[in-house]
Amino acid sequence: MTPAETNVPPSLRTRVRRVAHRGQYDRVTLHALLDEAYVCHIAFSDEHGVHCIPTACWREGDYLYIHGSNGSRMLKLAASGAQVCVTVTHLDGLVLARSAFNHSMNYRSAVIYGSFEAVSDDHKAAALDVFLEGITPGRSQEVRAGNAKELAATTMLRISLAEAACKTRTGGPKDDEEDMDLAVWAGVLPMALSPLAPIVDEAAADIETPGYVREWRDGSAG
């Protein structure tokens, strides 16, 4: 079995050291976590210092994709092959313990190390379809596709998931034995990213609501 199929860290810098049992290195966990993400944060350094920039992202196969304007400072540097660190985090709950020290959070997070590579022009349109389908399945078949001018003005990059690690926490508070008898409420305040009612653009008010929007409204999307 390859490291991607087992729970073995692919490199020294991906090894989870603090609370090591929370580390996960298998592709199933990583892919599921990334497929729930709309935004990642990209850390990089240049002559002005260290930066961490949020940007839209999506997964296709064993790569994480980003895109933006050709004028983006971050994309220009990333396209040059500079080393970056990409992170994604889902917050699932606030953990309230009997002591202040043992309060925590339930979360799922991923860290990806490496360098981005440019996506060829002949794959940009297909990759953007994957992006749209990840937001709302069926959308790419209805909207106007990007034209040659728009695609030429767009930088699209991808980073391999070969050097990545996940770290998660689940469950309730981990209180010290001597605190268990304290008359203090303890437990978890669950959190989730939940869809709200769609807001129709006024100019589209007379257009029939597509099925994927109704599903979003009903909370059954995804």
pLDDT digits (tens, 9 = 90+) for 172-198: 999 999 999 999 999 999 999 988 999
Neighbours of 189 (CB within 10 A): 10
Question: Which domains occur in the chain, in start order?
Answer: 3-91+107-170 (2.30.110.10), 197-222 (no CATH)
Nearest to residue 159, comparing CAs of 110, 126, 125?
Answer: 110
Q: Which is it for the CA torsion 202, 215, 93, 44, positive or negative? A: negative
pTM of the model: 0.90
Low-confidence ranges of the chain (pLDDT < 50): 1
Contact 70, 81 (CB under 8 A): no
Residue in the structure block whose two tokens are 């992202």 = 57
